[in-house]
Amino acid sequence: MSDRLEKFSYDDSVVRKFALATAVWALVATLAGLILALQLVLPALSFDLPYLTFGRLRPLHTNAAIFAFAGNAIFAAIYYSSQRLLKARMLSDALSNFHFWGWQAIIVAAAITLPLGITQSKEYAELEWPIDLAIAVVWVAFAINLFGAIAKRRERHIYVAIWFYIATVITVAILHIFNNLVIPAGAFKSYSIYAGVQDAFMQWWYGHNAVAFFLTTPFLGLMYYFLPKAANRPVFSYKLSILHFWSLVFIYIWAGPHHLHYTALPEWASTLGMVFSVMLWMPSWGGMINGLFTLRGAWHKVAEDPVLKFFVVGITFYGMSTFEGPMLSIKSVNALSHYTDWTIAHVHAGALGWNGFMAFGMLYWLAPRLFQTKLWSTRLATLHFWLGTLGILFYIVAIYAAGVTQGLMWRAFDDTGRLAYPDFVETVIQLVPMYWVRALGGAMYVTGVLLGLINVLKTWANRPQEYEVPVVEAPALTPYEGPEPKVVIPRHPTMASVGYRLQFFAKAAWHRSWERRPLKFTLFVTVSVIVASAFEIIPTFLIKSNVPTIASVQPYTPLELVGRDIYISEGCYNCHSQMIRPIRAETERYGEYSKPGEFVYDHPFQWGSRRIGPDLHRIGGKYPHLWHVRHMQDPTSTTPQSIMPPYAWLLEDDLDYSVVQPRIDAMAMLGVPYGDAVTRAEEMAREQAKTISEEIIKQGGPDNLEGKQITALIAYLQRLGTDIYKQPPAAEATPVAVKENHDAAQ
């Protein structure tokens, strides 16, 4: 440090904007969630409108919760804490404002396109390619702004919160870019460059690490800054924070494949994901311990301060979620929990408890400082805390019970060795009371969020006419002239080599030198993430035995491809899976288990992550065309106790044949062997639609469906899972064993 003091001020105007946006989007995101919870018990709440169905609103809810609510909270935390930790204003006020307004524009674009059915269908990455490009541009602007502030800092060592911010910025960029590599097929339509098994792997490499590096690491940075401030206590352990950080950065990136146990993913990949997921428990709890122990000597404040109440419960939920996550990654547990509401309970415990409560605690701490007035009502903040806590408990207890009920009923056999509950809807009926309790808990949480928004807005309304802008003084940063620890640890003349190395490591002086060199630090983070990712990704793509080919599997016809796009647009993947696991209960219920080679033309994959309805991978040929017409028009006409909303507009909306050829062309660019369809896709689609329409008429159905969307959707559904029972192009006869399996499935 030099002796010359420099005067500067912080830009809190952008923090105010992000803080207010956090409070507003919190209400929007949780209210959307409450509507979805109610739709599961009152399907009529979709009002027969395509824009309000569960399938279309569910990704809107998740994107609003993650990127609108949590995202704005992250940016408020980073912009406020980074400037003070670095003793420097952000690189550019213009970049800060571009970041804020660009991010809000992206959220609004998501809020418009998702209900319109414009989606990639990849969980947490549903937004289509133009919006993905906008996200990349805004994220780069944010990164330049943050790293620019780090470069001009007046504090030599970067504090632990900054470590987590750096990991977030770098890793989210890598995840976003590589998971969203697509071939556009229109202004708002694209196809993933990956297919089937590889696409599933990339999606859950992204999906799990979006949770890690968007919903965990930045909130840990938030915790490391705001909790000590609120408690007026230093962080419990600097050395534990080092262990916590680097363990998370290196281990987390491996864990994604545990979302795909017993699927068509190679077993080595899911096992590797499980091993690293179990290892995650230790560093995660290291962070929880560091947070809770920071309150040593300050626990008496928790009873009086709503900010600390939110932080303590938030960190506790972090500990609960990071214990349960590794447990759910164990294959025997995952066999019961996967596709059930157990996963939903787990996710919401983390989202509502950890992310939500940490964000609200930060907002209540920031509000009087940002708006330079007293918090409007401490009692209202305390009421918000209790409503939120009780709401979470009502929600997760009911849904944990629902998840275990589902898992046990799906796998139950009677004394004769048959499925005890062969009809899927039997499990749905049992869950309805639990769904009502979940809705009650959700309503309590939303009420608390509304009170929080009112409290923040009232505090903002009491702000002074002009904000005071404090001038801060700090010496400029000069080149470091002190001793640097050697990279090669020297031997000690009076101590055993191993002992000296352990002592050197324990002192953590080596890490202090990294903290003085943020570029080197960032490079180490980047290398850790890329190397860990490459070890899993490269073998999955290069070893052909991971996806054995099946000669009879052929590309979708032009009409089936458009029908698949309609399936995706309507959000059917949010309720139905297309993955039969090699578990007896599933093969008894649905048919032959799914093979890796069946998905080689699936851009993107449609394996799903939840079963509100039955698996559809072997639905092809199970019912006549007319059954599907009636099922879509009124689900209760085929399944009286169904909670699926009607999709009557599919029988009324015209099928746009003009999109058929561009979509076939895009798939051909991805290497799908389309043959004649490359030149006559629209003609082929019309021919197949006419055939299906004539068959519907013969079955006693309406005679006006040839040009309607329902016809394309039926074409797709009737194709699902049938290829393995067909003759390969060069074969003369269907193998007897395959035919017998087909007959058994029917």
pLDDT in tens, 507-534: 677 788 899 999 999 999 999 999 999 9
Residues 188 and 60 in one domain: yes
What's the Cα-to-Cα distance from 576 to each of 57, 142, 356, 617, 619, rounded to whole Å? 15, 37, 28, 9, 11
**In which element (H, E) is residue 713 found?**
helix 709-719
Contact (CB, 8 A) for 261 and 245: no
For 33-65, the pLDDT digits (tens) are 999 999 999 999 999 999 999 999 999 999 999
The residue among 519, 510, 470, 467 whose CA lies nearest residue 87 is 470
For 295-327, the pLDDT digits (tens) are 998 899 999 999 999 999 999 999 999 999 999
Out of 401, 432, 461, pick the residue that ends a domain.
461
What's the Cα-to-Cα distance from 216 to each of 43, 209, 231, 396, rounded to whole Å? 34, 9, 21, 20
> What distance in Å separates the CA atoms of residue 484 and residue 514, rounded to the nearest whole number?
10
Contact (CB, 8 A) for 281 and 299: no
Helices (H) and strands (E) in the chain, counts: 27, 4
What was the pLDDT predicted at 371?
A: 98
Residue type, 240: L
Contact (CB, 8 A) for 577 and 607: yes
| 212-247 per-residue burial string, b: 16 or more CB within 10 A, e: under 16 | bbbbbbbbbbbbbbbbbebbebebbeeebbbbbbbb
Residues 388 and 252 in one domain: yes
Assign 543 a pLDDT band (cuts: 50, 70, 90). Answer: confident
Query: Can you tell me which residue has the tokens 């809020």?
Result: 111
Residues 440 and 574 in one domain: no
Residues 236 and 128 in one domain: yes
405 occurs within a structural domain? yes
Residues 451 and 582 in one domain: no
264 occurs within a structural domain? yes
Contact (CB, 8 A) for 717 and 620: yes
What was the pLDDT predicted at 735?
A: 42
Burial environment of residue 482 by CB neighbours within 10 A (0 to 12, 13 to 18, 19 or more): exposed
The residue among 353, 571, 558, 584 whose CA lies nearest residue 448 is 353
Domain with 737 in it: what CATH number?
1.10.760.10
Out of 408, 429, 461, pick the residue that ends a domain.
461
Query: Can you tell me which residue has the tokens 């089937």?
Result: 196
Read off the pLDDT of each residue in 641-667 and give the average, rounded to a whole number: 97
Which residues have C-beta within 8 Å of that of residue 638, sequence separation ≥ 6? 627, 630, 631
The residue among 605, 609, 587, 588 whose CA lies nearest residue 596 is 605
Q: Which domain holds residue 643?
A: 558-594+617-745
What's the number of domains the chain is made of? 2
Query: Can you tell me which residue has the tokens 């900010």?
Result: 307
The residue among 135, 139, 19 whose CA lies nearest residue 80 is 19
The residue among 247, 396, 379, 274 whose CA lies nearest residue 335 is 274
Other residues' Cβ atoms within 10 Å of the Cβ of residue 675: 10
Residues 450 and 569 in one domain: no
Out of 403, 427, 461, pick the residue that ends a domain.
461
Tokens of 471: 């001038």
Strands 472-475 and 189-192: unpaired
How remote is the C-alpha of 48 from its chain's centroid?
A: 28
Kindly give the interhelix angle for 54-63 and 13-39, rounded to the nearest 10 degrees. Answer: 150
Query: Can you tell me which residue has the tokens 């309000």?
Result: 52
> What distance in Å separates the CA atoms of residue 35 and residue 58, rounded to the nearest whole number?
10
340 occurs within a structural domain? yes
392 occurs within a structural domain? yes
The residue among 401, 437, 396, 241 whose CA lies nearest residue 313 is 396
What was the pLDDT predicted at 506?
A: 65
CA angle (110, 612, 415) in 5-degree steps: 165
521 occurs within a structural domain? no
pLDDT at 540 over 70: yes
Read off the pLDDT of each residue in 369-376 and give the average, rounded to a whole number: 97
Output the average pLDDT for the chain: 93
The residue among 233, 260, 264 whose CA lies nearest residue 329 is 260
For 157-180, the pLDDT digits (tens) are 999 999 999 999 999 999 999 999
Contact (CB, 8 A) for 182 and 131: no
Residues 105 and 234 in one domain: yes
Contact (CB, 8 A) for 45 and 439: no
How remote is the C-alpha of 229 from its chain's centroid?
A: 30
What's the Cα-to-Cα distance from 607 to each of 3, 462, 594, rounded to whole Å? 62, 51, 10
Domain with 161 in it: what CATH number?
1.20.210.10
Please tell me whether residue 581 adopts helix, strand or coil conformation.
Answer: coil
> What distance in Å separates the CA atoms of residue 154 and residue 558, rounded to the nearest whole number?
61
Read off the pLDDT of each residue in 440-444 and give the average, rounded to a whole number: 98
DSSP-derived secondary structure letter, 159:
P
Please tell me whether residue 458 adopts helix, strand or coil conformation.
Answer: helix
Residues 575 and 451 in one domain: no
605 occurs within a structural domain? no
Other residues' Cβ atoms within 10 Å of the Cβ of residue 360: 29
Name the pTM for this structure.
0.94
Task: Reduce the secondary structure of 198-229 to three states and give it as a string.
Answer: HHHHHHHHHHHHHHHHHCCHHHHHHHHHHHHH
> What distance in Å separates the CA atoms of residue 211 and residue 695, rounded to the nearest whole number?
47
Q: Residue 51: how many CA atoms within 13 Å on its side-chain side?
A: 5
What's the Cα-to-Cα distance from 371 to each of 24, 127, 450, 686, rounded to whole Å? 16, 34, 19, 62
Q: Is the peptide bond before 604 cis (omega within 30 degrees of 0)?
A: yes
Tokens of 363: 């907002």
572 occurs within a structural domain? yes
Q: For the chain, what percent of residues have pLDDT higher than 90?
A: 89
Tokens of 284: 């995660």
Assign 741 a pLDDT band (cuts: 50, 70, 90). Answer: very low
What was the pLDDT predicted at 491?
A: 59
Contact (CB, 8 A) for 320 and 353: yes
The sign of the torsion formed by the CA atoms of 15, 16, 21, 24 equals positive
Of 3-7, 429-433, 674-678, least confident by mean pLDDT is 3-7
pLDDT at 739 over 50: no
What was the pLDDT predicted at 542?
A: 84
469 occurs within a structural domain? no
For 199-231, the pLDDT digits (tens) are 999 999 999 999 999 999 999 999 999 999 999
Rg (CA), the chain: 28
> What distance in Å separates the CA atoms of residue 676 and residue 378, rounded to the nearest whole number?
70
